[in-house]
Amino acid sequence: MNRMHLIDDLGEEVPLRAAPERVVSLVPCLTEAVEESCGGIVVGATDYCTHPAGLDVPRVGGSKYPKVDDVLELHPDLVLANSEENRREDVERMRADGIPVWVMAAPATVPDALGSLRRLLTQAFGLVEPEWLVEAEHAWAETLPDRVSAVVPVWRKPWVVLGRDTFGGDVLHRLGVANVYAGHADRYPRPKRDEIAARFDAGEAELLVLPDEPWEFTETDGPDAFPGVPYVLVSGRYLTWYGPSLVDAHRELTAALAAPRVPS
C-alpha cells in the first residue's frame, strides 16, 4: 500500500499507510478530540488524559516524561504529541523505532488550534470535520472589546503567568479580558509576587484569573497572596484545552468572569 503524504505542524513527515487504528496520545486535549471524533482507537494515554470521562486505556506516564517503552509496547500506528508539552528526544526515539508521530504546534490562538485539529482529523484520520469543531468555530468567532485587565497565574512556587502568544491568553482576549503580561518577551513569565501585586496597586491589573490546572488554585490557595484583589476561579480545561471542550468553554468562562470575588 502506498504511503500517505502527511506533514505535521512542524514540517515533519508522518509516514502512515492508512488511517490509524491504534493511537497513543501524549496530549490530554488531543486524546479528547480524537476519542470524541472517532471513538475506540486510542489505546494509550497519559495520566492526565481525564476526558472523555471513563476512558479506559493503559496509561503511559505524564506528557513531559512519558514512559516511552510502555508506548512502544502498545504497538501504536500513530502517536500524538505537542511541541510544548512533549520533549523532542522522546519524539525522536519513537520515530527511530518506526512509530509515526504527529506533533501539533503549541497554538497561539483559538483559530490556530482549530485549524490544526481540522488538519489532523481530516488528513490523518480521513474524517469529515466533526460537528463539535464547527460549533467551536462559531462560538469563538467573535472577539469582544476589552473590559477588564487581568493577571493569569498558571503556577505558584514560583509564580508563573500567561505571557505572549498563548492559547489561554487568546481565549480570554476573545471574552474581553486583556492579559497584562501579553506584551512580555516570554510566553510564560515568572514575575515575583511583589511585582504582580504592584501591577494591581498601580491599576494596570484589575482581576486575577485562577485556573485549576496545572496548579490547582482554590479559594484558599491563590487569592490569599493578593488581599483585596478581585479574582475568579476557572476551569483549566476550559481555559487551556483545545478540542470539544471549546464548545462549552465560551459559556462557562463567561459565567465565571461575570462573578468575581474579593478575598478578605
Which domain, by its residues, includes 127? 23-138
Predicted structure pTM score: 0.93
Query: Same domain, yes or no, for 148 and 225?
Result: yes
Q: What is the pLDDT of residue 17?
A: 87
Number of structural domains found in the chain: 2
Per the domain annotation, does 262 fall within a domain? no
- Burial class of residue 213 (count of CB atoms within 10 Å of its CB; 0-12, 13-18, 19+): middle
CATH code, 219: 3.40.50.1980
Among the candidates 123, 138, 153, a domain finishes at 138
Q: What is the pLDDT of residue 1?
A: 42
Per the domain annotation, does 228 fall within a domain? yes
Residue pLDDT tens, the chain, 264 long:
456 779 999 999 999 989 999 999 999 999 999 999 998 999 999 999 999 998 999 999 998 899 999 999 999 999 999 999 999 999 999 999 999 999 999 999 999 999 999 999 999 999 999 999 999 999 999 999 999 999 999 999 999 999 999 999 999 999 999 999 999 999 999 999 999 999 999 999 999 999 999 999 999 999 999 999 999 999 999 999 999 999 999 999 999 999 999 876
